[in-house]
Amino acid sequence: MCKEARLIGLTGTNGAGKGEAAALFQKKGYKYFSLSDLIREELRNKGQTITRDNLIKMGNYLRNKFGPDILAKRVVERVQGKAIIDSIRNPREVAYLKKQKSFLLLAIDAPVEIRYSRVIKRGRQESVDSLQEFIAKEAEEMSTKDSGQQLQNCMKMADIVIINDSSLEDFHKKLEEFLCP
């Protein structure tokens, strides 16, 4: 199922494989942009530590202050040519990006136990020490507030959903089927 896209958006759950998908697309000539990187810039500018909790709080603050689609608007200003846009977490971001020429939203998911294991292995500051805390933290990203993170709703808006529950090789095959040669 090959889809021609100049802009590919990535949404999905924590540890599902969005970063791995982005890396593959970069090898295919797509330039990488992340809405989370925009939030990291804001945190650095304010002298705040980059933790998952602070990313969530700052992202919600920016959406509340400037509108739910502010991160999408800011990233589009930076995009030229083919690009992968990672970390889409609000339906208004999706709606804004879908107005762009040749945009396709890809959602990536995996069972929670697999995702938790991946997250622990990558060693970032995730603010969790157990699977139960991981699940609770994820619930914060499933808000229904207009300016909050709404991962579930974004995933429902996806053009394609890929379940990454097997090997890296299998995941790459699924992503290759998605891309046009």
Single-letter code of the amino acid located at 19: G
What's the pLDDT tens digit per position in 87-140? Answer: 999 999 999 999 998 899 999 999 999 999 998 888 765 667 889 988 988 887
pTM over 0.85, yes/no: yes
Residue 53 has pLDDT above 90, yes or no: no
- Per the prediction, the chain carries an average pLDDT of 90
DSSP secondary-structure letter at 46? T
Among 181, 150, 136, 174, which Cα is nearest to 20's? 174
Separation of first and last alpha carbons in the chain: 11
Give the separation between CA 49 and CA 34, rounded to whole angstroms.
18
Q: What is the mean pLDDT of residues 170-180?
A: 86
| The pLDDT of residue 127 | 64
Domains and CATH numbers, the chain: 7-178 (3.40.50.300)
Strands 31-34 and 83-86: parallel
Both tokens of residue 24? 């593959």
146 has pLDDT over 80: no
More confident residue, 41 or 176: 41
pLDDT at 180 over 90: no
Spatial neighbors of 160 by CB under 8 A, at least 6 apart, are 1, 3, 104, 105, 106, 107, 178
Whether 5 has a pLDDT exceeding 90, the answer reads no
In terms of Cα–Cα distance, which of 70, 102, 104 is closest to 89?
70
- For residue 181, what pLDDT band results from cuts at 50, 70 and 90? low
Does the pLDDT at position 76 exceed 90?
yes
Q: What is the pLDDT of residue 3?
A: 64
Give pLDDT, residue 142.
75
Q: Which two tokens stand for residue 114?
A: 């697999």
Q: What is the 3-state secondary structure (H, E, C) of 122-157?
A: HCCCCCCCCHHHHHHHHHHCECCCCCCCEHHHHHHC
Query: In this predicted structure, what is the pLDDT of residue 11?
Result: 96
Beta bridge partners of 142: 150
Predicted pLDDT at 27: 94
Give the Cα separation of 134 and 74 in Å (integer). Answer: 29
Angstrom distance (rounded) from CA 25 to CA 22: 5
3-state secondary structure of 48: coil
